Amino acid sequence: MRIGTVHTFQGGERDVMVFTLVAGDGMHPGAVEWVGGQLNLWNVAVTRARSHLMVVGDKERWRKRGGVGAALLEIAERDGVPPRDSSEDALLKRLYQLLPREGATVTLDETVHGHPADALVRGVGDTAPRAVLLDRGVAEDADAARHLRLMLHRRNLLGGGDGEAEAARWPAWRLYETDEHRG
C-beta separation of 132 from 167 below 8 A: yes
Query: Please, which residues bridge with residue 55 across strands?
Result: 19
Read off the pLDDT of residues 119-174 as tens digits, 9 standing for 90 and up: 888 876 656 788 889 898 888 888 888 888 888 888 888 876 665 667 888 898 88
The residue ranges of every structural domain in the chain are 6-77, 86-181
Q: What is the average pLDDT across 32-51?
A: 80
pTM for the predicted model, two decimal places: 0.51
The average confidence (pLDDT) of the chain is 78
The DSSP secondary-structure symbol of 159 reads: S
Whether the predicted pLDDT of 86 surpasses 70: no
Q: What is the average pLDDT across 77-82?
A: 55
Query: Please, which residues bridge with residue 115 across strands?
Result: 112
Q: Which numeric CATH code is attached to 86-181? A: 3.40.960
